[in-house]
Structure formats: C-alpha cells, structure tokens
Amino acid sequence: MTTSPELNLVFPAYSYKVKKNEGKLYIFDEISTKYRLLTPEEWVRQHCINYLVKHLNYPASLFQIERGMKVDKLNRRTDIRIYNTQGDVFMLIECKAPQVELNLETLQQISQYQKTQQANYLVITNGLHSHIFNKSSEILSDFPSYS
C-alpha cells in the first residue's frame, strides 16, 4: 500500500514491511513486533507511531497498542497509549481511517477514555488531520516533545 498523491498524510512516509497471507495484507507493527491486518485505520496508526518514534524521539518502549480498559463498565481499547517514565499515561491517541471525519463524536470517544486514564495529552488523527489537546483542553499546533 502506498500513499496516493491525493492522500497527503500529516505523517512522513517510511519504509514499512507488509506481507500477504490468505489474500489479505498485513503491516508490521514495530511496537508489538507482530503483523497487523492492514486496514486504513492501521495504516494511519503505523504512520503515527513511526513519526513519534523516529522523528520526535518518543521512546518506543513506553508505547502500548490496543490496550484494554473499562469505561463506564464497558470494555474499550485505546489505539495508542504512551506512558512517561513514572508509569503515568502521557498521551492517548485515537486513530481513524482517512475518510473518517474528526468531529464531536470522535472527540467524545477519546474524552471517555480520559475519564479513567488522565493523560497529559489527547490526540485524534485520521492521518490527514490531527487534533492535539493538553489536559486543560487547549488545542496544540503540533505533538509535544517527549521530555
């Protein structure tokens, strides 16, 4: 899968590994060190992870992918959870497919996760646009540095 000229991701291109199994494409996830079904959402997630680790120097060892949690007695999973070195949640990232609009519904989804996680930063991205918020709900223009 390549990025078409019409699809300008906010994340830089990188050399990813894909494989085909039973007619389906899978992309290698460097964090969990396994192949994941290559969906449009997974494409965005892997580009986001690569950007944070390779370009912004976020420590890959502090990432968790699809981590489960309870929210209002319901089982939920965060796409990307990044911790600080003290073990607190530094950032929650919700990834959507490029064709999914980032709207109030997507913001409410990650806000529900914030009830239990209390992350310093919340991010929703569809690869074309990213909305980044700090704990005070202020909108940031770019990902914060990890320090």
Residue with the bigger pLDDT between 47 and 145: it is 47
Phi, psi of 62 (to 5 degrees): -100, 10
Binning the chain into helix, strand and coil, the percentages to the nearest 5 are 20, 35, 40
* 29 vs 104: CA distance, rounded Å: 29
Q: pLDDT tens digit string along 43-54?
A: 999 999 999 999
Please list the residues that pair with 67 across neighbouring strands. Answer: 78
| pLDDT of residue 126 exceeding 70 | yes
pTM for this prediction: 0.88
- Virtual torsion, Cα 136, 99, 62, 142, nearest 10 deg: -50
According to DSSP, residue 36 is labeled: E
- Chain Cα centroid distance, residue 99: 16
